[in-house]
Amino acid sequence: MTTVREKPVCASCGSDDVVFDGPVAWSVELNAWESCGHSYDKSMHCNGCDEDGGRPNWIPVPTSPETASPASS
């Protein structure tokens, strides 16, 4: 089972410090806001260069065995 992870980065400055507008729902299980399954590929806001409303570039994230499985206690 291999999952290629990717992340959105700013198309203008390449920063991954980007946020998106989108519908979320409260998850009691996660005790956190959970996205509703839409793919957020628009309405990007970049905290790096203040770009607003653009589309990100999606880049692959190399998987690291060390971070893939957090220490279990």
* Least distance (Å) between residue 59 CB and Zn ion: 14
Is 17 or 34 the residue whose CB approaches Zn ion more closely?
17
* Least distance (Å) between residue 9 CB and Zn ion: 8
Helix (H, G, I), strand (E, B) or coil at 38: coil
Is 22 or 54 the residue whose CB approaches Zn ion more closely?
54
Q: Evaluate whether 59 touches 21 at the Cβ level (below 8 Å).
A: no
Q: How many CB atoms lie within 10 A of CB 27?
A: 11
Q: Evaluate whether 19 touches 45 at the Cβ level (below 8 Å).
A: yes
Residues forming contacts to Zn ion in the complex (CB under 5 A) are 10, 12-13, 15, 46, 48-49, 51
